[in-house]
Amino acid sequence: MLGIDENGLGPLLGPLVVTGTLLKFKNSPVSWFEGIADSKLFFKTRSKNNFSLIEETVISFFSLAEKKMPSSPAEIFYAFTRNMNCPHAVNICSGRIPSKFMWADSEKTWKRCLEFSRWAEEKGIEIESIYSDFICPFSLNQFTKTHSKLFLDFVSFCKIMKAATDKNNLDVQTGKIGGLKFYSPYLRHVMNECDTKIISEKGERSLYSLRQKEVEFKLGFFMDVEKKSFPAAISSIIGKYIRELSMFSIRESLGIKNDISGYHDRKTKRLTNDINLGRIPRECVFRNK
């Protein structure tokens, strides 16, 4: 089961992060580990407690996926984003990812890792891979000169799907994009190596069957997927953490001392009005759309 979710489609500054979590499981349906929820619920406020909880949880996911404990946030960031390259040498999105964990309590982290590992073993669940497609503001701005952000979101979803289409009995669960109901024309364009069949296209969910050579897999676009799909909920949390690490790097690079989310809130707008970009290109920081 592959669950995909995005973080940061509509902010004022910072990256778009699309994350996929691939679970291998013995039992169906997949059970949920207690305390895992959509990152919007998991992270209602920007408090120290919520930052601690999200970092401790992501460390647990990393340890289960990579079979080892991470040494730093930077190790998690680069393990999940993989071959991410800055189009410019400035590298403000990831050049200052912290080398030490900032929020996690070591004792609580160790306990959560053990609980999650025991639960996964008991339920017969394995995290086979986690991958975040990291789209920096510059790349996003270049893409949206000719296409919409929603299409970029769709392309990233497909990029993650393509990495897993060699799996037998794959079930892909992803979020609705912009409330769209009909995805078949886009699937036939972007996933053109697959034969696409429509199962149903409705407001709450749009379901498809895709075949590539001898491998056939299911694909569903769901409203509020992160509340219905356990791997998508994991993706939501990890994507949130990856974006927060990037926002930390951006704030450090720009000399912003206050904690800002990058979204269209009053605090972000007020502080960004006074930013001195220096030699940093504006389109490496701010979204054009």
Q: How many residues does the chain have?
A: 289
Q: DSSP secondary-structure letter at 55?
A: H
Cβ neighbourhood burial of 179 (10 Å; 0-12, 13-18, 19+): exposed
Asked: is 2-170+228-284 a CATH 3.30.420 domain? The reply is yes
The residue ranges of the chain whose pLDDT is under 50 are none
Q: Which residues of 226-237 are buried (b: 16+ CB within 10 A; e: fewer)?
A: bebbbbbbbbbb
**What residue spans define the domains of the chain?**
2-170+228-284
Helix pair 106-123, 48-66: axis angle to 10 deg: 50
| pLDDT (0 to 100) of residue 164 | 87
Tokens of 119: 């639960």
Query: Is the pTM of the predicted complex or chain greater than 0.95?
Result: no
Q: What is the largest distance, in Å, between two alpha-carbon atoms of the chain? A: 57
Cis omega before residue 70 (within 30°)? no
Predicted pLDDT of residue 106: 92
- What per-residue confidence (pLDDT) applies to 256? 87
Measured torsion, CA atoms of residues 47, 50, 54, 60, in degrees rounded to the nearest 10: 130
- List helix spans (H) across 1-105: 39-42, 48-66, 73-81
pLDDT of res. 40 = 66
Q: Residue 38's pLDDT is what? A: 58
**CA dihedral of 162, 165, 171, 172, whole degrees rounded to 10:** 0
C-alpha–C-alpha distance, residues 289 and 278, integer Å: 22
* pLDDT score, position 277: 84
pLDDT score, position 29: 65
pLDDT digits (tens, 9 = 90+) for 221-252: 999 898 889 899 999 999 999 999 999 999 99
Output the pLDDT for position 279: 84
Kindly report, residue by residue over 58-107, the tens digit of the pLDDT.
Answer: 999 999 999 999 999 999 999 999 877 787 777 899 999 999 999 999 99
Three-state DSSP string of 111-152: HHHHHHHHHHHHHCEEEEEEEEEEECHHHHHHHCCCCCHHHH
